[in-house]
Amino acid sequence: MPRNSEATRTRILDAASDEFSAYGLAGARIDRIAASAEANKRSIYVYFESKEKLFDAALRHVLTKMINDVPLTENDLPGYAGRLFDYHLARPQGFRMNTWRQLERPTAGPDSGDMYSKKIAALAGAGTNRAIAPTDLIVLINGLAYSWLLSPRDLLRADGSDPDSAARLAQHRVAIVEAARRMCDRSDPGRGGYRER
């Protein structure tokens, strides 16, 4: 693909990621994507054929970048949880699009099954005393990283703090990493599944 075509395609994917993350598939508008990408609607349909295929491509675009930027490190799941939280605070499109995906197109997006299978196998081979199965552990670690973003705003403000302040976000990040560390602590089989040290 010529360089200018690739640049146009990337601009469209970036604009589509912003639009779909804000409105989902049903609420997104191709007109707004075209205007934001400085492209015409026809070029969007030439590259992607339909709104649904554009959503799928934009989802692959943001999630592939996230997987590359924040690799799942089976030997440091607490650190991974903290880095994933940081990433989604800075770049919420992937988290938001993945949420819309679960609601509107659960089978869309990149197939990360092979990557997850390798991580699960590595965790399964890491030791014998496990209170938490490897797949469940990864699900729970991801859940910790997403918890702040999924929680109702009134809950986040219930202690009187500003949930968007740097100090409060840093405090929550510490809590995420510590909770992940405890889940991964294999020294007390009744308390967790793995020790990641």
Q: pLDDT-based confidence at 130, cuts 50/70/90?
A: low
Residue 8 pLDDT > 70? yes
**Domains detected in the chain:** 1-60 (1.10.10.60), 70-197 (1.10.357.10)
- Answer yes or no: pTM beyond 0.85: no
- pLDDT at 115 (0 to 100): 67
Calpha distance 119→142 (Å, rounded): 13
Cβ contact 180:141 at 8 Å: yes
Per residue in 72-81, pLDDT (tens digit) is: 888 899 999 9
DSSP string, 66-122: HHHHS---TT-HHHHHHHHHHHHHH-THHHHHHHHHHHH-TT-S---HHHHHHHHHH
Contact status, residue 72 vs residue 138, Cβ threshold 8 Å: yes
Distance CA 48, CA 8 (A): 12
Over 80: is that where the pLDDT of 116 sits?
Answer: no
Name residue, tokens 């994933």: 84
